[in-house]
């Protein structure tokens, strides 16, 4: 795999670049190797006493030359290793052969970019005094990876090469350019300058979503094209907090007798959108938070994530500070005080509700209605009468009882979830306050 | 290329006489003295297969069929199996499908039993004449045509067939007349056990190629639990490496080393296995120098350890020594062509050429020409990326 670059045709030198992430173990999907007795004879032949006493000798004579793998007779023009099973596990197709990276692939934040760079002299003349520089340019910065200006390469002969390997921990997202430049004296002793550019994009490998009360649930989603093996996921709590990871009872823990170790099943997140959740219990180590009623935010801590892919290729990321709201307090709350035990289809029924003001100021007046979902389903429950009910002000930390006259036009179990309260003064809408499940009889 | 599904009509006297010579009439004679006494020119077929001359196999089968050289049903089946295998090796999957259609789908049908042809096989031990490989090929073919699920279903059915119909938890009644009864049983059971392993390994390789690692781990662990096999355990370690569990891989490789130490044999292949595992651990820790050292020890013990040679070349590349890595691969191809020539090694060599030479087309063409002269018919030349 070569890089493209802007170069004049007259240059003696050219850069060749190959990404050097870890090699892969070759997997052969169908080795197509067989035991001779599976091909040459009927499958039941060994049930025949006559056969099973003679066949092994016959088979041995076929296999001679193959069992002795120390023989490296160059005149043995046989490819029997592509056809005959030497060991039963050959059919797994995992010979242990390593393969060089075959394409540039995707690069993700937190990984290490490693590249083999070769500068070739494809001319017929020696070039001298070669100063080579390699740097990574992003939107924000330039990072120098290699600079031979203090000790330039004295010469590269005709047809020769100078190689180097560069590494860079990727810490930024977006467009990156590997800029390779060479300053040299060509065959005519002209000082020439060769720049070559290799572009690549760095994407986000993971997204971390957190949900928290006194428990922190972190959901890690894999946006890469490989499965990610979660090596370590640790929550580093902030000051005043301590965290314990909670895991389900693992009944599948195996005691591998051969290794005499307890081997835990690996956490592997599937490529392209797979997720895995981690749960932490947070405990505050000071009394402070219990008294904090302000909806201020505290810093709970950070998540440190280390993952590995093919052959242990590592990547690491740290999330930003995860914030918590120690007390989730709603501004207003809606409670169902009384719901009739029997509700008949198409017969109006009364639901008694209570609107509670949780703040320390007067709120309202309010308007209350039942909004319908956007789904294509017909409305099941509707307000019987005026669609919007007007309520007066509610005192600080006070409450207001009211009724809604409803009617059901579908029977069976129905959910009423569209209660909407609108503060006409502050112009704020509150929904998702209350969900009621009722059973509607046909008659 | 018609394959008769029923036995040919009454053979001529001459054919009957030849057939009689092959039968177990005289218990002292050995009908299995050679492959050719079992099936027409079978040793040639076997030899061609070992040489990778699959196109010649196709020619031979076509000739035998058109000249009606095959007399017995079991010969037709063996030839069909070789034909099918040749087509699949040559990646002619649709043709293979057509070939399979010459067969009754149900390999358990009575027409594939010896006892269905009493005239052809008098006194023959009853049983199926289907070569087991044919069952396997029938199961694998849908995958090559894009239907992975059907192949998996067939493989699991095959596994079920082996476990329920062939593998016996209790040994059969011993034939009183033949005091070799018990050991015959063992031979047969041993063969079926191997076949069970083949099917399980095929299933694992399917999952492996789709990176379904958890299934692979479960299946491999079940296999390993049954027998102490350092080679199999090493492959488990490789799977663990593939998805990044380096600690798990190290534990597996350490267990292999203990297993091999207990063997007390100077088996070179096992010693090399342990060294290659060590080298992998060094490699993932980026200690390429130590990895190269381990691989060199392997090569000294066994000059045809192609895995060690290939992997050593890669390590040299990671040590910035592109020239030597190319030399290692080129010299292996020169020294031991039939062992070293495989698609993976060629892919690696071509990648190195593309990096080392601005005008790499020439040198790749030279390689490609050499391959054309030397390679077996089933070699996938697309690996040179020309």
ipTM: 0.86
**Concatenated DSSP letters for B250-267?**
HHHHHHHHHHHHTT----
pLDDT (mean) for A416-431: 88
CA dist B65 and B84 (Å) reads: 14
Q: Mark which residues 246-275 of B lie under 8 Å from A by CB.
A: 246, 248, 251-252, 254-255, 259, 268-269
CA dist B133 and B158 (Å) reads: 11
To the nearest whole angstrom, how far is the Cα of B9 from the nearest Cα of chain A?
22
A308 chain-B contacts, CB cut-off 8 A: 243-246
Q: How confident is residue B2, by pLDDT bands cut at 50, 70 and 90?
A: very low
- Using CB atoms, pick whichever of B194, B259, B318 lies closest to residue A35: B194
In this predicted structure, what is the pLDDT of residue B277?
97
Task: Note the pLDDT tens digit of each residue in A290-310.
Answer: 434 344 557 788 889 999 999
Q: Mark which residues 177-206 of B lie under 8 Å from A by CB.
A: 178, 180-181, 184, 187-188, 191, 194-195, 197-198, 201-202, 204-206
Greatest mean pLDDT among A152-166, B7-21, B62-76, B305-319 lies in B305-319
To the nearest whole angstrom, how far is the Cα of B76 from the nearest Cα of chain A?
12
- Classify A308 as helix, strand or coil: strand
CA dist B38 and B131 (Å) reads: 13
B57 touches chain A (CB under 8 A): no
Q: How confident is residue A373, by pLDDT bands cut at 50, 70 and 90?
A: low
To the nearest whole angstrom, how far is the Cα of B13 from the nearest Cα of chain A?
26
* Residue B359, C-beta contacts closer than 8 angstroms, at least 6 positions apart: A122
- Whether the CB-CB separation of A108 and A202 falls below 8 Å is answered with yes
To the nearest whole angstrom, how far is the Cα of A240 from the nearest Cα of chain B?
34
Q: How confident is residue A359, by pLDDT bands cut at 50, 70 and 90?
A: confident
B161 touches chain A (CB under 8 A): no
B317 touches chain A (CB under 8 A): yes
- Using CB atoms, pick whichever of A29, A48, A92 lies closest to residue B201: A92
Contact between A313 and B244 using a beta-carbon 8 Å cutoff: yes
- Classify A225 as helix, strand or coil: coil
Which tokens is A23 given? 């090699």
B211 touches chain A (CB under 8 A): yes
Task: Note the pLDDT tens digit of each residue in B127-154.
Answer: 999 999 999 999 999 999 999 999 999 9
Residue B181 has pLDDT above 80, yes or no: no
Tell me, letter by letter, the H, E, C secondary structure of B200-219: HHHHHHHHHHCCCHHHHHHH
Where is average pLDDT lowest: A247-256, A317-326, B282-291? A247-256
Contact between A100 and B317 using a beta-carbon 8 Å cutoff: yes
- Whether the CB-CB separation of B125 and A48 falls below 8 Å is answered with yes
Task: Note the pLDDT tens digit of each residue in A260-292.
Answer: 444 567 889 988 889 998 888 887 765 444 434
Cα A132–chain centre separation: 37
Which tokens is A128 given? 């001298």
To the nearest whole angstrom, how far is the Cα of A147 from the nearest Cα of chain B?
17
**Concatenated DSSP letters for B72-118?**
SHHHHHHHHHHHHHHHHHTT-HHHHHHHHTTS-S-TTSGGGBGGG-T
Task: Select from A236, A218, A212, A214 the least CA-distant residue to A284.
Answer: A214
- Whether the CB-CB separation of A293 and A309 falls below 8 Å is answered with no
Which tokens is A115 given? 């590249």
B209 touches chain A (CB under 8 A): yes
CA dist A45 and A325 (Å) reads: 75
Residue A314 has pLDDT above 60, yes or no: yes
Task: Note the pLDDT tens digit of each residue in A14-34.
Answer: 999 999 999 999 999 889 999
> In chain B, pLDDT over 90 holds for what percent of residues?
71
Q: Which residues pair with A108 in a beta bridge?
A: A203
B152 touches chain A (CB under 8 A): no
Contact between A311 and B228 using a beta-carbon 8 Å cutoff: no
Which tokens is B201 given? 């390994």
- Main-chain phi, psi angles of A218, to 5 degrees: -110, 125
Q: Do β-strands A412-416 and A436-441 pair in parallel, antiparallel, or remain unpaired? A: antiparallel
Q: Of B307 and A335, which is predicted with more confidence?
A: B307
Place of tokens 């520089």: A133
Contact between B78 and A39 using a beta-carbon 8 Å cutoff: yes
CA dist B20 and A317 (Å) reads: 77
- Whether the CB-CB separation of B54 and B107 falls below 8 Å is answered with no
Residue A233 has pLDDT above 80, yes or no: yes
Q: How confident is residue A63, by pLDDT bands cut at 50, 70 and 90?
A: low
CA distances from B199 to A82, B82, B223 (A): 18, 19, 12
| Alpha helical stretches, state H, chain B | 13-22, 35-38, 42-51, 54-66, 73-89, 93-100, 132-144, 148-161, 181-209, 213-226, 230-243, 246-261, 268-284, 288-301, 306-318, 322-335, 337-340, 343-356, 360-374
In this predicted structure, what is the pLDDT of residue B9?
45
Contact between B184 and A97 using a beta-carbon 8 Å cutoff: no
């Amino acid at each position: 795999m070569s890089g493209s670059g802007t170069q004049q045709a007259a240059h003696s030198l050219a850069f060749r670049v190959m990404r050097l992430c870890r090699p892969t173990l070759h997997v052969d999907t169908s080795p197509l190797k067989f035991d001779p007795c599976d091909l040459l004879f009927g499958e039941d032949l060994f049930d025949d006493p006559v056969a099973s006493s003679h066949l092994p000798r016959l088979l041995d004579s076929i296999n001679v030359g193959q069992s002795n793998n120390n023989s490296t007779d160059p005149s043995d023009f046989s490819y029997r290793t592509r056809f005959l099973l030497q060991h039963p596990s050959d059919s797994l197709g995992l010979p242990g052969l390593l393969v060089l990276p075959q394409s540039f692939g995707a690069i993700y934040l937190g990984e290490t970019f490693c590249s083999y760079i070769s500068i070739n002299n494809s001319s017929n003349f020696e070039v001298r005094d070669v100063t080579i520089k390699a740097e990574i340019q992003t939107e924000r910065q330039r990072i120098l990876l290699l600079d031979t200006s203090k000790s330039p390469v004295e010469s590269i002969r005709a047809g020769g090469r100078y190689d180097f390997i560069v590494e860079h921990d990727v810490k930024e997202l977006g467009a990156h350019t590997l800029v390779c430049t060479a300053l040299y004296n060509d065959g005519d002793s002209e000082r020439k300058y060769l720049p070559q550019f290799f572009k690549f994009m760095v994407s986000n490998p993971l997204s971390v979503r957190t949900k928290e009360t006194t428990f922190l649930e972190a959901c890690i989603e894999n946006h890469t094209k490989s499965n990610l093996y979660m090596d370590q996921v640790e929550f580093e709590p902030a000051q005043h907090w301590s965290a314990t990871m909670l895991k389900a009872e693992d009944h599948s823990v195996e005691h591998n007798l051969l290794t005499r170790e307890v081997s835990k099943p690996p956490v592997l997140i599937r490529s392209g959108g797979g997720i895995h959740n981690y749960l932490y219990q947070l405990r505050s180590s000071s009394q402070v938070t219990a008294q904090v009623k302000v909806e201020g935010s505290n810093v709970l801590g950070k998540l440190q994530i280390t993952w590995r892919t093919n052959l242990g290729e590592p990547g690491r990321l740290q999330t930003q500070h995860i914030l918590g709201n120690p007390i989730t307090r709603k501004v207003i709350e809606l409670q169902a005080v009384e719901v009739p035990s029997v509700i008949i289809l198409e017969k109006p029924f009364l639901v008694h509700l209570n609107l509670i003001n949780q703040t320390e100021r007067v709120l309202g007046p309010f308007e209350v209605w039942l909004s319908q979902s956007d789904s294509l389903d017909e409305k099941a429950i509707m307000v019987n009468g005026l669609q919007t009910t007007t309520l007066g002000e509610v005192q600080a930390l006070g409450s207001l009882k009211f009724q809604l006259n409803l009617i059901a036009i579908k029977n069976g179990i129905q959910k009423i979830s569209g209660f909407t309260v609108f503060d006409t003064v502050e112009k704020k809408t509150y929904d998702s306050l209350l969900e009621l499940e009722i059973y509607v009889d046909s008659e | 290329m018609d394959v008769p599904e029923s036995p040919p009509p009454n053979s001529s006297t001459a054919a009957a006489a030849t057939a009689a010579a092959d039968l177990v009439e005289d218990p002292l004679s050995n009908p299995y003295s050679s492959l050719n006494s079992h099936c027409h020119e079978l040793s040639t077929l076997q030899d061609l297969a070992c040489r990778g001359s699959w196109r010649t196999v196709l020619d031979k089968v076509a000739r035998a069929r058109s000249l009606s050289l095959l007399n017995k049903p079991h010969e037709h089946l063996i030839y069909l199996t070789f034909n099918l295998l040749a087509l699949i090796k040559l990646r002619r999957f649709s043709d293979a499908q057509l070939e399979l259609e010459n067969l009754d789908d149900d390999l358990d049908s009575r027409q594939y039993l010896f006892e269905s042809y009493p005239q052809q096989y008098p006194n023959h031990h009853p049983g199926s004449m289907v070569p087991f490989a044919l069952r396997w090929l029938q199961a694998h073919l849908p995958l090559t045509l894009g239907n992975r699920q059907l192949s998996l279903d067939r493989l699991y059915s095959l596994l079920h067939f082996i476990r329920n119909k062939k593998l016996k938890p209790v040994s059969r009644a011993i034939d009183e007349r033949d005091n070799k009864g018990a050991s015959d049983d063992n031979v047969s059971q041993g063969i079926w056990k191997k076949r069970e392993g083949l099917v399980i390994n095929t299933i694992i390789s399917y999952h492996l190629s789709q990176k379904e690692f958890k299934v692979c781990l479960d299946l491999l662990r079940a296999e390993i639990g049954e027998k102490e096999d350092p080679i199999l355990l090493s492959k488990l370690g490789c799977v663990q490496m593939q998805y990044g569990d380096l600690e798990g891989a190290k534990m597996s490789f350490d267990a292999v080393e203990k297993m091999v130490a207990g063997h007390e044999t100077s088996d070179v292949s096992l010693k090399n296995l342990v060294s290659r595992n060590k080298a992998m651990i060094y490699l993932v820790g980026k200690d390429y120098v130590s990895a190269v050292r381990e691989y060199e020890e392997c090569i000294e013990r066994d000059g045809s350890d192609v895995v060690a040679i290939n992997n050593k070349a890669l390590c040299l590349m990671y040590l910035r020594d592109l020239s030597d890595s190319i030399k290692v691969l080129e010299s292996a191809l020169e020294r031991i062509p039939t062992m070293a020539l495989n698609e993976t090694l060629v892919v690696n060599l071509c990648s190195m050429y593309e990096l080392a030479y601005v005008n790499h087309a020439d040198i790749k063409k030279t390689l490609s020409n050499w391959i054309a002269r030397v390679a077996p018919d089933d070699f996938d030349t697309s690996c040179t990326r020309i």
